[in-house]
Amino acid sequence: MKKTLVVFAHPYLEHSNSNVELINFYVRHQHYTLRDLYEEYPDFHIAAFRERKRLANYDRFIFQFPLIWFGMPPLLRLWIDEVFDRDWLQPEKENPLENKEVYILVTTGGKERSFSKTGTYQYSIDELISGLIVSLRVFKANIKHIKIVYEANKLSKKEIILHKKEFTELLNQ
């Protein structure tokens, strides 16, 4: 089993049943380490050096977050800005993300049809989180899958469990 770091950022976790279900899954399995950025950095002062060292210890990464006002949560954006060090791109430096598997899980209250060129917002989720996607590609990470859970705030317990099952099956492939 791959040692997996879950970089989780949700500023309003107490209002999110769908995210809580997956967090409970990560906590129960020894190969997953959950890093809740809002719990760890409530003052928004990122310990970038410590975070960079931590990344080197994992085989796989999951970035899990809700779409907040058509983008990533502010603390996750700051984490990326401070932790993803361009110095890793130097030939003599080890790039801790190179060829490592990455999964992205995004929850949103919006409907799937709203996130298209012809939809209400006229942008896809991939476009709205492109800062993360481009950053991961620059660092040569292997983005395996982007899972989007639409209308996450309206899902029944059964639907949440089905999404969790689908996502965990992806991780086990």
Q: Which residues contact 161 (CB under 8 A, 6 or more apart)?
A: 21
What does the pLDDT look like over 84-103, one tens digit per residue? 987 877 888 888 899 999 99
Q: Tokens 């800005």 map to which residue? A: 81
For 111-115, which contacts have Cβ atoms below 8 Å and span 24 or more sequence positions? 111/150, 111/151, 112/148, 112/150, 115/148, 115/150
DSSP string, 90-114: STTS--TTTT-EEEEEEE-SS-GGG
Let me know: does 55 contact 135? Beta carbons within 8 Å: no
Q: Is the pLDDT of residue 140 over 90?
A: yes
157-171 and 17-28 helices cross at what angle (nearest 10)?
40
Q: pTM to 2 decimals?
A: 0.94
What does the pLDDT look like over 55-71, one tens digit per residue? 999 999 999 999 998 99
Q: Is the pLDDT of residue 144 over 90?
A: yes
Let me know: does 4 contact 35? Beta carbons within 8 Å: no
More confident residue, 167 or 104: 104
Q: CB count, 10 Å around CB of 122?
A: 11
